Structure 1
Amino acid sequence: MIKLWSMKWQLMLYFLASSLLTLGILGFAQFYMPWDTAGGGWKFGLAVFAVLLGQAVGFVASRTFQRKVDVLHIAMLQLAKGNLKDRIQIDPIDSFHPVYKSFNEMAGALEERTRLLQEMGEERSVMERGSVETAVVEERRRLARDLHDTVSQELFAIHMSASSLPKVIGHNPDVAGQLMEQLIQMSHHAQKQMRGLISQLRPIELDGSTLEQALEKWFPEYCRAHELQGRLDVETEQPISEAIEHQLFLIIQEGMANVVKHASATEIELQLHDSGRQYVLQLADNGKGFERSAISSASHGLSTMRERAQKLGGDAEVLSGSGSGTTVRVRIPKFVKEPKGEASL
């Protein structure tokens, strides 16, 4: 348990100063104007002044300690946002010195553990990429499910509608026009779904190019294939490690696929920025959105994206509301490896 003796004595000094000032005023008044000769107005005014003086001393004391608590609160918020390098400047004679010191030690331990977690995640990511056969089998299963759930059902519906078209033309020519329009819409939708699956069968390789270069090629093509108005904004000051680039690209692919499947969006914005302390990825669309209370955290690929981010010591969150679009935000801590094996964020 932390014993903040200095804080206790500081508060006592504030109240002692208030008491001494009040006693001094009372003594001054008694010496120069005895109570038996002083008028009632003087006595009342003196009492009011003593109360206001105590309030002023209390205000100064509370403001002093409130500022110290605010410093700690801001540092905690920065730590929660992933700025693991932020520390509180400590004054040796500050009454909050033990609290600030403990916070800095906690933040340092968290930074070190997060750095080790990211290094382990990068190594594991590299090893996982070597399991090509397993990945290929899983990808085939996923594509088979997508084909069955999308294109296959669309084609079956087109076949059934086309089969009934001759009879409809013979019995009710007016309805035939509506049925033809439905066939055109269904075939267009099936073609769109097929283009999306084909684009996934031709994933872009990051080998030999940076993530920014890969996105400049892949993102516009993907948007055109799915009739999306896309905006790309990528700014990274330093090269990103291969493992982090790979995981970020997989997260982007997962998020874009979710937009196509679920969002009914027409516009999409992809941002990737290097804030100096962390990489911030944001994917925002203008789709129909959803209420988080009505959908589990495992839906819309959120669990997959969060797992990929957590492998590197980061996290992923989804901000959405019915009719207000969806924003996926991923934060990955940034560590700079130094020559002596030390790392800083």
Structure 2
Amino acid sequence: MSASLKSQSRLLKRVLANPDCLGAYAHRTVQKHFKKAIKQKRRVLKDTDPEALHQMRVGLRRLRAAIELFDHAVDLPAPLRDRSLAKIARRLGGVRDLDVLLLWLQNFCQTTELSDAEQTALQRVEADIHQQRQKRFRRMRRELKRDRYADWVEATQQWLAEPRYRLPALIPIELVAPDLLLPLVGEMLQHPGWLVGTAQTQPLRPLKRMSLQQINRCLAAQSDLLHDLRKRMKHLRYQSEFFIDLYTPAYAALVKDFRQLQDTLGSLQDEAVISDCLAQTLGSTWAEQVPSLAQFFTQERRQLWKAWQAMQAQYLDPAFRQQLRQAMLRSREAMSA
């Protein structure tokens, strides 16, 4: 046996002997989300329940988040590191995004009193989305049946059965968790999206009493920043949730707040996506053809912006930021020490 294999064998034994080290924790996390993702494949291909696609997509997202977070402690084979996983996730996401649009439109039609003309217009939109979905589903199905997907599954299963680690895998998870979390929180707090719609004064605060026209202009100019902030919050939430069991209920409450912020920004983004779909099918005058939906968007946008500004003010507050940083430092073990 070569020196490198002997070293890896000794390292593996030490990790296996210590279930509370970083390597063992990473292995359990990867295994959990890998199993959750791949078990949905058959149901996804049957295409009878959109929830299966949603669960597979979320499982893959969490798996990618775990691989990224623990990369320095685990020695993964090439198929787990290349772009195969990202491409599979994109194919699933493309179909899931249209499922969400269809569910939203169907719910709106069922809960809103619409004129015959409005119903006809929205039926045209739904038909176009269905057609797009069929095309995306065919591409997704091909991806899931390709050798690349099978190779990725096999390589992951092989690594889970015979994992390889790097030296940081031996660090106790309670000791290293804050060091993993604090950089993620720091990146999130420095995101430029927090500055959208703020007064150019110190301390930073959201602009007060913005008119609908001002809100619309702000979203038109900087919606990409808010969308990117939403993705950052989702990524942070996934990676923070890996450590829920190590921390106090106060930490869990903060992670739950990440979800609330993500959902609010997601609803603002959904409006923009739905509006684009309406424009593609009905043209630029879609608001005149479906006035009930245009009015709903106007009312909802005010409410969503108000909710966003309340959370924005909280995350710009120095005291809250310090509270957030402190929460990442205070694991259950640190509290009991």
Q: TM-score range by the shorter chain?
A: under 0.3
Answer 1 or 2: higher relative contact order, Cα 8 Å, separation at least 6. Answer: 2
Task: Give the alignment's TM-score, normalised by structure 1.
Answer: 0.21
The structure carrying a bigger strand percent of its residues is 1
Task: Give the alignment's TM-score, normalised by structure 2.
Answer: 0.21
